[in-house]
Amino acid sequence: MEGKSECMVMKALKQMFEIENAQIAIYEPTVDLIKKILYPRFEEILGNAGLDYKLNKSEGIIDIPNIGTVLFRSLENPDRIIGYEVHHSHVDELDTLDGDKAQEAWQKLLARNRKRIIPKRAGVLTKNTASVYTTPEGFRFVYKRWFKSKMKGYELIQASTYDNPFLPREYIDNLKESYPKELIAAYLNGEFVNLESGTVYPNYDMVKNEAIDTVHADLETLHIGMDFNVNHMSAVIGVKRYGKLFILAEISDLRDTPAMIEEIHDRYSTGRTIYIYPDASGRSSKSVDASKSDIGLLKEAGFRVNAPKKNPPVRNRIVSVNSMFCNAKGARHLLVNSKTCPTLVSNLQEQAYDKNGNPLKSNNVDHLIDGLGYLVHRLFGIDRPSNKVRRFRL
């Protein structure tokens, strides 16, 4: 049994001896894991301790007289997490579930976690708790709830396999021989890394591509990449300095093009030259005024719009952005201020390829990235398959 699962079992047993008539729930992704892992381990520990117990496999319950009860439940069908109350809950490998299913299961089990705690001694926590023990499976539910958008009352503990003194010496070496570096970072160090099929923007480095600059208060020319999406209008704001392109601000999740125009005018003084590099499909998209395209609205607002008749192939945009982040000589010409562009930075780290080799668009990670791609490709475009390079002086 891996260390985290052993920790889960021991923590649950510890809680049972701390409170009166303890009711503890333990969840596994499948019934099969309950039968193969949890039943044998609990029976071994309770037997070695000389404790009487009764295991009812059909009901998924272990009853320990004068101590309490452990309820074993599967996460396969969250709708069945009903009809009982417990003091504490423990969840194994939650991140192996689909994100939506994991969230549903988590909300359901939290609702069961409401039995009043009566401690056996002073100093015992009287709040109901729910704990998750999981290997990070990329940027999924656990990453979002405990790291990216950490909520009050949530605590993240990341443990390294290197610190486990009970593993055989060859265990880590065997893992390194069997898995790529992304999986090793997750399995050995407990890090959140992209495990889908490779990140779309591997050349981006949060440290090496960091910009500490901000948009100047004077009339410095702005270059804005923009993506059109109803209720997800997105834009990245860049400037050209010192032979580099700096992305210094972001705008996301606005309602429509008029709202985007108003936001840009509110943020940046009139009289400043502003170039917009939008999604070329905006020529036919309709916003509030059905008689005008989104690109037409931008031009009418006084912006200088760089919009070809059609967008370049997605692959060309990706190559252009990656080349700007770091080219073959190791030079980095594209920098991002992570403090003023937190969503863009998060998206760059998260976006992966799907099984068909296309950038994933789930969780709205693509809107700001697409805007960045339009901007970079039109300033520094790499066209394929002719391999012709078009450069614009920065």
pLDDT digits over 161-180, tens only? 887 777 787 878 776 655 54
Sheet holding 61-64, edge to edge: 54-56, 61-64, 68-74, 22-28, 88-92, 129-133
Write out the CATH class of domain 222-391.
alpha beta
Q: Rounded to the nearest 10 degrees, how much is the dihedral formed by the CA atoms of 265, 277, 206, 153?
A: 50
Q: List phi, psi (to 5°) of 20.
A: -75, 135
Q: List phi, psi (to 5°) of 81.
A: -85, 75
Q: What is the pLDDT of residues 177-219, one digit of tens each?
A: 555 455 677 777 777 776 566 789 988 999 999 999 999 888 8
Tokens of 93: 């490998």
d(CA 116, CA 86): 8
Q: List phi, psi (to 5°) of 141.
A: -60, -45
Contact predicate 282/228, CB 8 Å: yes
Burial of 270 (0-12, 13-18, 19+ CB in 10 A): exposed
Partners of 225 in beta bridges: 236, 277
pLDDT at 177: 59
362 pLDDT band, cuts 50/70/90, is confident
- The CA R_g of the chain, rounded to the nearest whole Å, is 27
pLDDT at 194: 65
Q: Residue 53 in 3-state DSSP? A: coil
Q: Residue 119 in 3-state DSSP? A: strand
Name 394's Cβ contacts closer than 8 Å, sequence gap at least 6: 240, 243, 244, 245, 333, 379, 380
Predicted TM-score of the model (pTM):
0.56
CA angle 196, 197, 202 (to 5 degrees): 105
Residue 250 to residues 141, 196, 283, 366: CA-CA distances in angstroms?
25, 26, 23, 13
Q: What is the pLDDT of residues 15-60, one digit of tens each?
A: 999 999 999 999 999 999 999 989 999 999 999 989 999 999 999 9
d(CA 186, CA 169): 19
Contact predicate 86/22, CB 8 Å: no
HSE toward the beta carbon, residue 73, CA cutoff 13 A: 28
Contact predicate 166/3, CB 8 Å: yes
d(CA 55, CA 9): 16
Q: What is the mean pLDDT of residues 258-270?
A: 91
CATH 3.30.420.280 domain extents, the chain: 222-391
Residue 351 clears pLDDT 50, i.e. is over it: yes
Contact predicate 293/286, CB 8 Å: yes
Nearest residue to 112 (alpha-carbon basis) of 7, 23, 42, 35: 23
pLDDT at 158: 84
Q: Residue 135 in 3-state DSSP? A: coil
Contact predicate 192/186, CB 8 Å: yes
Q: Say how many C-beta atoms besides its own lie within 10 A of residue 165's C-beta.
A: 6
CATH 3.40.50.300 domain extents, the chain: 3-157
Partners of 223 in beta bridges: 238, 275
Q: Say how many C-beta atoms besides its own lie within 10 A of residue 280's C-beta.
A: 18
Residue type, 116: R
d(CA 369, CA 53): 56
d(CA 334, CA 356): 28
Sheet holding 334-336, edge to edge: 304-305, 274-278, 222-227, 233-241, 244-254, 334-336
The structure tokens 């390194």 sit at 176
Q: What is the mean pLDDT of residues 115-135?
A: 92
Q: List phi, psi (to 5°) of 289.
A: -90, 105
Give just the sign of the alpha carbon dihedral 213, 333, 331, 350: positive
96 pLDDT band, cuts 50/70/90, is confident
Nearest residue to 268 (alpha-carbon basis) of 257, 260, 279: 260
% of residues, the chain, pLDDT over 90: 58
Kindly state which CATH superfamily the domain 3-157 is placed in.
Answer: P-loop containing nucleotide triphosphate hydrolases (3.40.50.300)
Helical (H) or strand (E) element with 229? none
